[in-house]
Amino acid sequence: MEKPLTTSFLFSCVLFSLCASSFAQTCKSYTGFSNNKVYSSCQDLPVLNSYIHWNYDQSTSKVEIAYRVTGTSSSRWISWALNPTGQGMLGAQALVAFQNISGGMRAYTSPVSSYSISTLTEGSLSFMVSNLSATFENNNEMFIFATLTLDSGMTKVNQVWQEGPLNGNNPISHTITSSSNNMKSIGTLNFLDATTKIPSGVLVSACPST
């Protein structure tokens, strides 16, 4: 009887360790922003190792955001977007960032008008963006910082987040198979109640709640 109990105990320890590691990677536990800002709200996005942090000023309809991706590299691009007209990529108003071949960071805005990644080119968005910047830190974390000025009352929004490979200084297409996490990276963000809704079928956590 001792062997099954020992095996069960070891399995439980491994599961607990994995879950503890997962819980440690929550947005609320992160405080190391290089811009020295403190963000009052955040959400752990369920795929692509991504987190969104924000401060929303209801009197001005301005939102300061920090988008963070872990486990990435300098050979990949990242993007976070709001979509005022629908869900998904088409119509998304995107912030894009990557490290260029000279080692500097490029951050820019891109209105997505096609499903082709080749159209992820620089352009103005349907709302004002200021203080846009990006950093690549610790050789595995990439950040986008920006201030968005939204229409009054635009507090519940569709969001999209993505990442993919680079070809030199050009973003190229991410994985597009139906089972890939890139096809699951959509949700609804409420700036007022800090609630992110994820479409059904997307796994949020495999660990038991505590």
CA distance 198 to 27: 17
Q: Report if residue 142 sits inside a domain.
A: yes
Q: Quote the tokens at residue 205.
A: 């956590």
Complete DSSP assignment for the chain: -HHHHHHHHHHHHHHHHHHHHHHHT-GGG----TT----SEEEE-SSTTEEEEEEEETTTTEEEEEEEEES--TTEEEEEEEESSSSSSTT-EEEEEEE-TTS-EEEEEEE--SS-GGG------SSEEEEEEEEEETTTEEEEEEEEEPPTT--EEEEEEEEEEEETTEE------TTSGGGS-EEEEETTTTEEE--TT----SSPP-
Q: Report if residue 199 sits inside a domain.
A: no
- 94 is in which domain, residue-wise? 27-190
- In tens, the pLDDT along 183-199 reads 678 899 999 875 444 44
CA distance 43 to 25: 11
In sequence order, what are the residues at sequence separation of 6 or more whose Cβ sits closer than 8 angstroms to the Cβ of residue 6? none
Phi, psi (deg, nearest 5) at residue 8 = -65, -40
Given a contact cutoff of 8 angstroms between Cβ atoms, the answer to whether 131 and 146 are in contact is: yes
Query: Residue 173 pLDDT more than 90?
Result: no
- In tens, the pLDDT along 3-48 reads 554 444 444 444 444 343 344 468 888 888 888 889 999 999 999 8
**How many domains does the chain divide into?**
1
pLDDT at 106: 96
* Confidence band for 176, pLDDT divided at 50, 70 and 90: low
Q: Report if residue 196 sits inside a domain.
A: no
| Percent with pLDDT over 90 in the chain | 48
For the domain that residue 145 is a member of, what is the CATH number? Answer: 2.60.40.1210
Given a contact cutoff of 8 angstroms between Cβ atoms, the answer to whether 80 and 68 are in contact is: no
pLDDT at 4: 52
Q: Report if residue 13 sits inside a domain.
A: no
- In tens, the pLDDT along 109-153 reads 999 887 655 557 899 999 999 999 999 998 899 999 999 999 988
Q: Report if residue 210 sits inside a domain.
A: no
Q: Report if residue 31 sits inside a domain.
A: yes
Q: Report if residue 6 sits inside a domain.
A: no
Q: Report if residue 12 sits inside a domain.
A: no
pLDDT at 81: 96
